[in-house]
């Protein structure tokens, strides 16, 4: 399976080279250059899928917390005096039997 590599942009390389030329020092080792430019191997698709699978419980707990907050704060967002238009319409209609 081919590995994916994150490449620095042309502007980052130009800025790095300009700084290197003005430094007048020997070049650092390739690992240091890669670290400074954030040039690295990206995780495999399998690794990313495994990580996403492990994060499912976290996502579900965040979603459950958000639903609980929404349920608890719903009365504050729509107080009884501020009925929805449809509710007002249904309450004011007279039903003849």
pLDDT tens digits, one per residue of 36-58: 888 887 767 777 778 778 888 88
pTM of this prediction? 0.38
Beta-bridge partner residues of 41: 5
Report the domain count for the chain: 1
Averaged over 22-42, what is the pLDDT?
84
- Residue 97 falls within a domain, yes or no? no
- Residue 43 falls within a domain, yes or no? yes
Q: What are phi and psi of 40, to 5 degrees?
A: -150, 170
For position 97, what pLDDT does the model report?
43
Q: What are phi and psi of 41, to 5 degrees?
A: -80, 135
- Residue 37 falls within a domain, yes or no? yes
**Range(s) of the domain holding residue 51:** 4-92
pLDDT tens digits, one per residue of 58-82: 888 888 999 888 888 876 766 555 5
């Amino acid at each position: 399976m081919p590995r994916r590599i994150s490449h620095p942009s042309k502007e980052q390389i130009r800025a790095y080279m300009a700084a290197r030329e003005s430094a007048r020092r020997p070049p650092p080792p390739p690992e240091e250059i890669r670290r400074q430019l954030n040039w690295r191997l990206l995780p495999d698709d399998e690794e990313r899928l495994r990580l996403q699978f492990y994060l499912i419980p976290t996502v579900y707990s965040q979603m459950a917390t958000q639903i609980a907050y929404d349920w608890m704060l719903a009365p504050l967002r729509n107080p009884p005096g501020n009925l929805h238009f449809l509710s007002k319409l249904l309450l004011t209609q007279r039903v003849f039997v």
